[in-house]
């Protein structure tokens, strides 16, 4: 609802309907809106923010690692495809470090973080080599 003040009369014109609204009614509506807005903001600011603290695990499953690295699909679910692919690389292709605990695949946080930094550097160097070949 857009309201315009008319100089010649003490009324307001509603742009959508073209109806005239008295100045008193328009002021009341404006005050109600401003009060509701003020009270809503005060209520939101008075609520304590809830911080969710997720404990960082030393050993993680593929799903936990995907959450830790924030690897999510378009449905906002953790995706493990890349993690499993990286862990299956041959030794010469720098596989993602992992261990089996029984038949469960697990990843050590310190080792995978180091691998991620090294992998980023390997990819950066690989991209530089490609650019040099093109030039």
Task: Indicate whether 95 and 33 sit together in one domain.
Answer: no
Q: Is the pTM of this model over 0.75?
A: no
Buried residues in 87-111 as b, exposed as e (16+ CB within 10 A)? beeeeeeeebebeeeeeebbbbeee
On whether residue 52 sits in a domain, the answer given is no
The domain of 40 spans: 3-46
3-class SS at 59?
A: strand
Distance (Å, whole) CA 106 – CA 9: 77
Q: How confident is the model at residue 19 (pLDDT cuts 50, 70, 90)?
A: low
Predicted local distance difference test score (pLDDT) of residue 62: 96
pLDDT higher for 128 or 3?
128
Predicted local distance difference test score (pLDDT) of residue 8: 46
9, pLDDT greater than 50: no
Predicted local distance difference test score (pLDDT) of residue 18: 58
Q: 104 phi and psi, to 5 degrees?
A: -95, 125
pLDDT in tens, 72-81: 999 999 999 9
pLDDT in tens, 25-61: 878 888 999 999 999 888 888 877 777 776 788 999 9
Domain count, the chain: 2
pLDDT in tens, 81-121: 999 999 999 999 999 999 999 999 999 999 999 999 999 99
Task: Indicate whether 32 and 80 sit together in one domain.
Answer: no
**Which residues is 103 bridged to in the sheet?**
none
Task: Indicate whether 127 and 97 sit together in one domain.
Answer: yes
Predicted local distance difference test score (pLDDT) of residue 71: 95
Task: Indicate whether 75 and 119 sit together in one domain.
Answer: yes
Task: Indicate whether 66 and 127 sit together in one domain.
Answer: yes
Task: Indicate whether 130 and 66 sit together in one domain.
Answer: yes
């Amino acid at each position: 609802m857009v309201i315009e003040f008319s100089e010649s009369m003490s009324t307001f014109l509603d742009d959508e309907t073209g109806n005239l609204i008295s100045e008193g009614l328009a002021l009341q509506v404006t005050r109600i809106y401003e009060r509701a807005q003020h009270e809503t903001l005060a209520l939101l600011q008075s609520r304590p923010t809830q911080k969710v603290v997720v404990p960082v695990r030393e050993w993680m499953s593929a799903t936990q690692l995907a959450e830790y690295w924030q690897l999510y699909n378009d449905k906002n679910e953790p995706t493990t495809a890349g993690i499993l692919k990286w862990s299956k690389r041959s030794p010469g292709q720098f596989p993602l470090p992992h261990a089996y605990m029984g038949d469960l695949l697990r990843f050590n946080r310190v080792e995978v973080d180091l691998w991620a930094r090294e992998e980023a550097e390997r990819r950066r160097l690989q991209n530089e080599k490609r650019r040099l070949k093109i030039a």
